[in-house]
Amino acid sequence: MNPLGLLPAIGAAICWGSFFVPVRKVKVVDIWQLQGATGIGVILFAVPIGFLTGFQILPFGLLSGAIWTAGNILALYSVRLIGLSRTSPFLAGFSILVSFLWGILYFNEKFNYMILAIIAIGLLLGGLAFISNTSKNLPIRKSGYLIATASGLVGGSYVVPLQAIHSLQAGFFSSSLAIFVIGIPLLLISRRFTRKEMLAGALSGGLFNIGSLTILIAVGLIGITVAYPISQTATLFAISWGILYFREIVHKQNILRVITGSGLILCGAALITLA
């Protein structure tokens, strides 16, 4: 494994862990408007990068962007229902599981210690149990967790089309273009152009695409089965934002559960790099 691949994976974790912060700050009002604004932020970052990586329009890149858009819309709904600190671990955990299965079953990526890799995935997913117990079992909470799970299952596959054709960096612009093209009609449907929410969405889009570029670099260096799980330690940054800044969880017992769950997720991500 190329140790240099760990750096862009960690960079992706930082960006993705902060990705929902601007959206959470404006208290998600209209999902369609925010997705449209996010698309604008994505393309604004992609265009200058395109001068370096090229402006190729690849079908698999467009598919990748469409998959991510679907996952992000689900994630926005989940944040509105159960908050950032609870959405992020579920999103990350199931994204990790899906990317791991893609890498093993489809791309035939190998581990030196498969048992250790399985234990790592178990730790990653086991951490979710602690975090899911930090809210009452109200119907709205249950639906929020289900939507977050669906978001993770969808989002964990978004880099697969690009890796399948070995065109990760080349497909970056195509993926960004798809996010932008899908987002504009959603923005028009919303009929909302509130400046504060537009800026928040655009900033989120920029953060996402910085993370997206760095994870594509990492996948090319160390493979999806290692790079993607490391990037999903973004949940630690997101949880920190949710607890320390937005005060989504205030009871000490629940904070302890979140910290314990986050620790398990971090240990799992560390183990998978050793496997």
pLDDT at 28 > cutoff 70: no
Is this model's pTM higher than 0.85 or not?
no
For 218-269, the pLDDT digits (tens) are 888 888 777 877 887 787 788 788 888 887 777 778 788 877 887 887 787 6
Average pLDDT of the chain, as a whole number:
82
pLDDT of 71 > 80? The answer is yes
pLDDT bucket at 209, cuts 50 / 70 / 90: very high
Higher pLDDT, 88 or 185: 185
Quick one: pLDDT at residue 273? 64
Could you give the CA distance from residue 237 to residue 7 in angstroms, rounded to a whole number? Answer: 16
pLDDT tens digits for range 112-156 = 777 888 888 788 777 766 766 665 444 556 788 889 889 988 988
